[in-house]
Structure 1
Amino acid sequence: MESQRGKATRTASKAGAATRKVSERSTRVAVTEPRESPAAPRAAQLNVGKCGSVRESRSLQTQSARDSQEELQERALGARSKKASLRAQGAPPSGVSSTDGAEAPKPPVAPRPLPTRARSRREGGARSAREQRPAPELAEVPCSVTPARVPSLGVRERVPGGWKPRAVLDKLRLRRQEISAAAEVVNRVVDHLLRRLQDFDSEFKGVQLLRTGSYYERVKISAPNEFDVMFKLEVPRIQLEEYCSSGAHYFVKFKRNPKGNPLKQFVEEEILSASKMLSKFRKLIKEDIKNIEGIDVVMEKKKRGSPAVTLCIRKPEEISVDIILALESKSSWPASTQEGLPIDNWLGAKVRKKLRQQPFYLVPKHAKNGSGFQEQTWRLSFSHIEKDILNNHGHSKTCCENDGVKCCRKDCLKLMKYLLEQLKKKFDNRKELDKFCSYHLKTAFLHVCTQDPLDSQWHPKDLVFCFDNCVAFFLKCLRKEQLEHYFVPIVNLFSRKYIDKISKEFLSEQIEYERNNGFPIFNEF
């Protein structure tokens, strides 16, 4: 009888062991199987509660190793989304299941374990819990605009809110009455000088007018008080010799001209001297402005390295007029421009080909030579192409026309120019911003247009975000000390030979501050 009882006891013990093995196998399957339904995570948690073994942690580690990088990212994003949702509903930040709001299961406790195994199971459960915990969240800046990719920085950022770009632009908008009054005075001065040069029997008899600059590009801000014009002079049969592989500066030589050369007095050792020609040009203009009746106009002192003859009209309003002498060449563009003008995906390959068939210009802006300048050199100028691009800036041909869809490209450029203008006013007693000009902003802006070529990427409702993209790209250029010339890519406008690192760091810090605080400087001055 006793033997039968012992046999029955051993049989029941074996059956219980078999049942526990089946339970353990089902637990491992529940933990390692991918989640296929909302009930799956809950089932896994219940099984873990029955059998919290070290095998669970190892199983999770094995599955984690098999996960792809994309799945890990999706889990992290899902965890953040659920956590944010719970917080919005007033749920506790921790100790609550993300599935149904119930309390998180307690650490698994095995029935009557040995001390060593219990310690091992607790450690395994702790490791498993740490592995399942979502990654810590990055601090985010509150923002009223939906964040999107900032291609220039390569990271996802929030656009600071709290400022009204339309109100700023309205303040910058030129009034029609002011434009008419300023344009009338400037036209009188320019027309007078042009007629005198054409009538006067001199080397500049063939000059023609070419209107360029922000006013004619329709991106002038604040007031119509600055104008740029070119007096172009066609010079046929010239030969260019690149200066020190600069890409943008050239010596100009003449090929044989049987009719004689009207500019021969400016030639030194077969090279057309930019400094000599500019000096004579300034002299003639200085004499002519004395004969302009009814307008108080004077010539400003020559700025070292500048190609412009700057006139100041003092009455009735103070207006600055830069007159730039330019040599016009109708030959093929220099080889250094071959990879420039990257508008194929923006304005189209046909437009690029057509623009490159236009003449190019050389202005008397000298190349730097150590601490001085090489005064015989001329620099390439494509201001007429820039004006054409800005006035026909759409991916679609009807962008911003009367019946076309509007974009915010020009508004972004205006805001960028205003930002630099305001910073220069704020720090007018410092020299760090002296070498920065609107041309740097325009170049950066054109690169952003190349990166974002579609009109839909510049919708007026997205003005804040589009402007932030432009600012982000400009900051990236400052930090990397790299801003490619839009037409001559080998030229770095932020090279240390042009602008020192301290100045770039200073401007970067000021722009970053404004960007992070909603551009308070737009409301100053």
Structure 2
Amino acid sequence: MKWGVMGRVFRAESCRFPIYTPESASCALIGRKDAAMSPIGNAFRSGPYYSGRELRLQLKGHSLSYGIPAERRRLRRHARAPLDPSVYCDPPPVFGPDLCPNMIAAQAKLVYQLNKYYNERCQTRKAAIAKTIREVCKVVSDVLKEVEVQEPRFISSLSEIDARYEGLEVIAPHEFEVVLYLNQMGVFNFVDDGSLPGCAVLKLSDGRKRSMSLWVEFITASGYLSARKIRSRFQTLVAQAVDKCSYRDSVKMVADTSEVKLRIRERYVVQITPAFKCTGIWPRSAAQWPPPHIPWPGPNRVAEVKAEGFNLLSKECYTLAGKQSSAESDAWVLQFAEAENRLLMSGCRKKCLSILKTLRDRHLELPGQPLNGYHMKTLLLYECEKHPRESDWDEASLGDRINGVLLQLVSCLQCRRCPHYFLPNLDLFQAKATSALEAAAKQTWRLAREILTNAKSLDKL
């Protein structure tokens, strides 16, 4: 089943996310009698949500009716000559036979504008961040060398490989996280019972092996390796290292947090997180991935991703930040950075993510910090499920994929729920203020509407 919006055709695929139209935009689905729209409250059911043929958007008093029938009527009314898509795309994109000339032109214009945006805005952002990373990593490396002198168990794993720093994540242009990989997890069993969404614990495989562990003083009486105790010790070591390192005049610890955070030159914040790398196993709480009814990413890629494994981070749990009991703070946070990056390797997926992150940095940096780049990454992964074919991720589809993610983001903000891609019981909007999410929903819809109705607006975004 197909339906059209803004001159582009979408297919109603079986997916873990419904395709919503925002209530705030007075959207109404019209078409055959059996046309149906999933209610906003029934979020995250699987299955197709629209069986109609047209979508009417009422924006600022203007009623815009789009879809295959509407497009044909508009062509007859204006009798416009077909536009050559090669004017906008190089090489010319290949479109389906059911797309009329104006629809092809609209797609091609948007693709052209997005590529221009990517070359001008995204590449500039990337270059600035790369320069910042080099500056930040010099300071962090110096601090970690001092830590290693004091405590050889905390060995710096921050190294540059193929112009990338292993273990470094960009949270925002001025905010970063460095993962410090620890050694010798061997005497512990990974326990993932789902009691804490997004978290797991490490328990001694045999009580008699307590003295054999490299981390013996951080093991609780119950036999668990405490993430909180390791983080507390590491925080003390980093504070001492900051006072001794060669950059001590330009770096200081961020106070009032149990996390290990550095503020560098009053401009950048870097969180350093001790972690264990877990390869060759897959957490039980992520066992439902991939859903059996969704063909993406395919069995070979699934095997690669699961072999890549995940990380266990010593940081505050998502759902309990600031109000954790002692037992809960002993848990480790699950992270799937390598697996997520592997899933986004092919097609225009990375370009999509770069554009989405740039749009967020420029237009969705709002009070209360409701959105970050990881929300964009998560929704892009869901978009991959909705559009499982590789042909859905060629250059000609770039505009459709960007619009799809932005509209889904509006829906998630309105529902005040954004499930983690691998851990659907974990809500990434947990603890976010309702007012901040509502403001983000309105701003995201303004952004999506601007791109949907006027591709040239990207010159100003």
TM-score in same-fold range (> 0.5):
yes
C-alpha contact 2:172 2:372 (8 A) present in aligned 1: no
- Render the CA deviation track for 1:80-117: whole Å, top value 9, x for unaligned: 67754653369xxxxxxxxxxxxxxxxxxxxxxxxxxx
* 2:302 equivalent to 1:328: no
TM-score (norm 1): 0.58
* 2:329 equivalent to 1:379: no
* 2:172 equivalent to 1:208: no
Q: Aligned-pair distance for 1:326? A: 0.7
Bigger-Rg structure (1/2)? 1
1:33 alignment counterpart: none
C-alpha contact 2:220 2:226 (8 A) present in aligned 1: yes
Listed as ranges, the gaps of 5+ residues in structure 2 are: 1-31, 36-51, 55-66, 81-100
C-alpha contact 1:194 1:208 (8 A) present in aligned 2: no
Q: Aligned-pair distance for 1:162? A: 12
1:487 alignment counterpart: 422
Higher RCO structure, 1 or 2 (CA under 8 Å, sep 6+): 2
C-alpha contact 1:483 1:492 (8 A) present in aligned 2: yes
1:411 alignment counterpart: 351
Give the alignment of 1:142-161 within 5 angstroms.
146=104
Q: Aligned-pair distance for 1:335? A: 1.0
1:40 alignment counterpart: none
2:460 alignment counterpart: 523
* 2:378 equivalent to 1:443: yes
Task: Pick one of 420, 423, 427 that aligns with 2:360.
Answer: 420
Cα distance in 1, alignment partners of residues 113 and 199 from structure 2: 42
- Shift in alpha-carbon separation, 1:293–1:501, aligned structure 2, 3 A: closer
SS at structure 2 position matched to 1:268: coil
SS at structure 1 position matched to 2:202: strand
Give the alignment of 1:23-38 within 5 angstroms.
none
Cα distance in 2, alignment partners of residues 255 and 279 from structure 1: 24
Give the alignment of 1:265-414 within 5 angstroms.
265-270=217-222, 271-293=224-246, 296-302=249-255, 304=257, 307=259, 309-314=260-265, 318-330=267-279, 332-340=281-289, 345-367=295-317, 368-369=319-320, 372-374=323-325, 375-390=329-344, 393-394=345-346, 407-414=347-354
Task: Return the structure number with greater helix share.
Answer: 1
C-alpha contact 2:357 2:373 (8 A) present in aligned 1: yes
C-alpha contact 2:419 2:427 (8 A) present in aligned 1: yes
Q: Aligned-pair distance for 1:176? A: 8.8
- Shift in alpha-carbon separation, 1:258–1:185, aligned structure 2, 3 A: same
TM-score (norm 2): 0.65
The residue identity in structure 2 corresponding to 1:373 is Q
- Render the CA deviation track for 1:299-329: whole Å, top value 9, x for unaligned: 3424647x5x2323329xx444332111234
* 2:184 equivalent to 1:231: no
Task: Pick one of 183, 192, 203 that aligns with 1:253.
Answer: 203
Q: Aligned-pair distance for 1:183? A: 4.6
2:440 alignment counterpart: 507
Cα distance in 2, alignment partners of residues 491 and 364 from structure 1: 17
2:399 alignment counterpart: 464
Cα distance in 2, alignment partners of residues 179 and 167 from structure 1: 19
C-alpha contact 2:313 2:333 (8 A) present in aligned 1: yes
* 2:153 equivalent to 1:185: no
- Shift in alpha-carbon separation, 1:469–1:290, aligned structure 2, 3 A: same
C-alpha contact 1:219 1:413 (8 A) present in aligned 2: no
Cα distance in 1, alignment partners of residues 169 and 398 from structure 2: 16
C-alpha contact 1:238 1:254 (8 A) present in aligned 2: yes
C-alpha contact 1:231 1:325 (8 A) present in aligned 2: yes
Cα distance in 2, alignment partners of residues 442 and 285 from structure 1: 31
Backbone CA RMSD of aligned residues = 4.4
Listed as ranges, the gaps of 5+ residues in structure 1 are: 1-66, 91-142, 149-157, 395-406
